[in-house]
Amino acid sequence: MSKEKKKVTEIPIGPYHPLQEEPEFFRLQVEGEKVVGLEIELGYNHRGIEKLSESKSFDQILFLVERICGICSTSHPFAYVNAVEDLAGFKIPEKAKYIRTIVGEMERIHSHLLWLGLAGHFLGYNTVWMWSWKYREPLLEICEKVFGNRQHYAMMKIGGVRRDIDISKGNLIKKGMEDLLPKLDMLQKAVEDDPVIRARLKIAGTLPKKEAREYCVVGPTARASGINIDIRKDDPYAAYDLVNWDVSLRKEGDVYAKTMVRLEEMRQSAKIIKQCVDKLSGLKGDIDIDIKEIPEGEGIGRHEAPRGEVFHYVKSHGGSVPYRHKVKAPSYANVLSDEFAVIGGTIPDAALTLAAVDPCYCCTERMQATDEKGRKYSPKELIKLSQEKTEEIRKKQAK
């Protein structure tokens, strides 16, 4: 080892580590307390969703994409139906638009509360964990009463929604939102007023605007760094352009800003849901359209999931199954930004910073290509491999 290159200690975190809910592997390189490098290894959750979906019919895929991730279990179907409707040019009824929006926003609230609790847990502040999960419980109860399940609601359907919302249950939703707001204030105070928590959150994992742009982060992670990006405003779908709401923005880019952005987003979501319920009560008509077949073509669908932009691409050659289905989850961009945010901090802050982007490894899981000896392929080698493969296919088709 050369003299310039100092000896670094490596700390492995994972794949099965007490701090993590999901299996993932981080290699922290440290000098004393200071983190100088980070390597991320994924693949522990890879289930081959894209390949599986090529063997399922368009309607069955909804249930598959729902199970990409259990926390944002409406985001993936939402983006998928957007993609198929874009492909086929379907227009959905207004009622379905509002119901979709309600489901999407309910999910955002419970996902952010879940994150807040886990962030408290990573801080060693288990009270926040227990409290925020306690206040998440009434929301799940509403979900169960209105959508039929605590998670995995299966509300989305190509061309509309699967179930109507009973208007009498509308008041239940509204009351749930009213009850939630004071709890959010309380949680905000718990984070804001506690000097220790504040101090910990303020110094950890800063991601400035420039770096945030370079890493292409999305969702609350980007909005906490001052990037005004929100698919719901930039490219409105469902009923997001029919209701009144604001994007929550912060400039600092640290974990504190990310927390505040998410708290504000929950308030905005409550606002959206209340407006949607009001508008829904005056509406009559169908909740879906009749669909005979999905034509040939390709389409994209986007949805602002709790973690950021979910992107689905569907290509159809006619028939009942898609030719290609591509999924890009928000954590795919966000997790990589850890590389910047963790370096320079201390080891105890690393765990918090890694959790601050609200990573979902189930969503973002990719296959890792290795040769027989277990050596990883570099990106250049992978591109070469893919070009060779394409060439092979071309030759076959030419014959």
Partner 1 sequence: MSKVFAKSIWVYHFAASPCNNCDIEILDTLTPKFDAERFGVKLVGSIRHADCMLITGALNSKVLPRLKRILKQAPEPFFVIAIGTCALDLGVFRGSYNVVGPVDKHIKVDVYVPGCPPKPEAMLAGVVKLKEKVLAGEKKKGVKKL
Cβ 71 to partner 1 shortest distance, Å: 5
Q: Which is nearer to partner 1, 183 or 233 (CB)?
A: 183
Cβ 130 to partner 1 shortest distance, Å: 6
Q: Which is nearer to partner 1, 134 or 324 (CB)?
A: 134
Q: Which is nearer to partner 1, 19 or 203 (CB)?
A: 19
Binding residues for partner 1, rule: CB under 8 A, are 15-19, 21-23, 43-49, 51-52, 55, 63-64, 67-71, 73, 114, 117, 129-130, 133-134, 137, 140, 150-152, 360, 362, 365, 367
Whole-angstrom CA distances from 116 to 53, 121, 256, 258, 369 are 33, 9, 11, 10, 35
Quick one: tokens of 251? 């400039």
* Alpha carbon distance 389, 383 (integer Å): 10
Q: Which is nearer to partner 1, 135 or 215 (CB)?
A: 135
According to DSSP, the residues that pair with 346 across neighbouring strands are 34
Q: How many residues belong to the chain? A: 399
Cβ 60 to partner 1 shortest distance, Å: 9
Report which DSSP code applies to 336.
G
Cβ 310 to partner 1 shortest distance, Å: 15
* Alpha carbon distance 376, 247 (integer Å): 41
Cβ 360 to partner 1 shortest distance, Å: 7
Cβ 76 to partner 1 shortest distance, Å: 10
Q: Are strands 156-157 and 160-161 parallel, antiparallel or unpaired?
A: antiparallel
Quick one: tokens of 243? 């209701």
Among 155, 119, 153, 112, residue whose Cα is nearest residue 135: 112
Question: Is residue 218 within 8 Å of residue 330, measured between CB atoms?
Answer: yes
Q: Which is nearer to partner 1, 43 or 208 (CB)?
A: 43
Cα radius of gyration rounded to whole Å, the chain: 22
Q: Are strands 324-328 and 25-31 parallel, antiparallel or unpaired?
A: unpaired
Q: Which is nearer to partner 1, 71 or 142 (CB)?
A: 71
Report which DSSP code applies to 36.
E
Cβ 126 to partner 1 shortest distance, Å: 10
Whole-angstrom CA distances from 212 to 206, 231, 338, 391 are 10, 17, 10, 37
Whole-angstrom CA distances from 272 to 27, 102, 153, 174, 240 are 41, 8, 19, 11, 8
Q: Which is nearer to partner 1, 46 or 384 (CB)?
A: 46
Q: Which is nearer to partner 1, 186 or 367 (CB)?
A: 367
Cβ 129 to partner 1 shortest distance, Å: 8
